[in-house]
Chain A
Amino acid sequence: EAGVAQSPRYKIIEKRQSVAFWCNPISGHATLYWYQQILGQGPKLLIQFQNNGVVDDSQLPKDRFSAERLKGVDSTLKIQPAKLEDSAVYLCASSLGVGLDNQPQHFGDGTRLSIL
């Protein structure tokens, strides 16, 4: 089975520019997550979708970050405008079901974002 695909792998931009990340979850996985992992820290959940609906975006800085999951499959995460503090690895993960706890989350390899 193909894993979670993310692109690009690396991105370098200047502050105040915009950037977008793309994620294709494992086929059939209903739930999709975007995490931010700052160097030396664990992943922090930014937004969670179940199918194409948002179930948690409490830690998403909504003044600059946005995400969508059209048709309940692929997802994009956008930052506009970027700040220096946004330098991090952005991880996408997916899990199979809806309404179930304790399910494994399958992660992509992430996009490493550097803000100059």
Chain B
Amino acid sequence: TQLLEQSPQFLSIQEGENLTVYCNSSSVFSSLQWYRQEPGEGPVLLVTVVTGGEVKKLKRLTFQFGDARKDSSLHITAAQPGDTGLYLCAGAGSGGYNKLIFGAGTRLAVHP
């Protein structure tokens, strides 16, 4: 069974701080997707990383895929209150089914 573990589960920080959240597995995935989910809404895709060692930047967010394609990290620089939400990583298998396995998420609260 493929599992994704995310850490930390909860993170409460002040505006302007930096943070990193992690997504780890013992399984290899064809890609890792990161989603953000706000209360009462569905997850929204932030980024997909496909190649081992790949780094992608989205404004103040930096995503990295591990060399072995088993883990990923999300780093946020100078966090803003608008970054508050649940960050979910999802591992994608291969075979043409586009199936995702989600981690339990990191709940981030950024206080002004």
Contact = CB atoms under 8 A, between A and B. Distances in A.
Contact of A101 (B4, B42, B97): B97
A102 B91 CA distance: 9
A82 B93 CA distance: 31
Given A42-B105, A102-B31, A102-B92, A109 B40 contact: yes
Of A44, A101, A110, chain B has the most CB atoms within 10 Å of the CB of A101
A95 B98 contact: yes
A2 B31 CA distance: 27
Interface residues of A, number: 29
A38 to B, nearest CB: 10
Contacts of B43: 43, 91, 107
A7 to B, nearest CB: 14
B42 A40 contact: no
Contact of A42 (B30, B48, B98, B103): B103
Nearest to B45: A104
Contacts of B44: 107
A48 to B, nearest CB: 7
Contact of A45 (B30, B40, B48, B100): B100
- The interface residues of chain A, by DSSP majority, are classed as loop
A17 interface: no
A101 B98 contact: yes
Interface string B21-62: 000000000110100000011111100101000000000000
Nearest to A104: B45
Given A4-B42, A91-B42, A110-B42, A105 B48 contact: no
B98 A102 contact: yes
Interface of A: 4, 31, 40-45, 48, 50, 55-56, 91, 93, 95, 97-110
Interface of B: 4, 30-31, 33, 40-45, 48, 50, 88, 90, 92-105
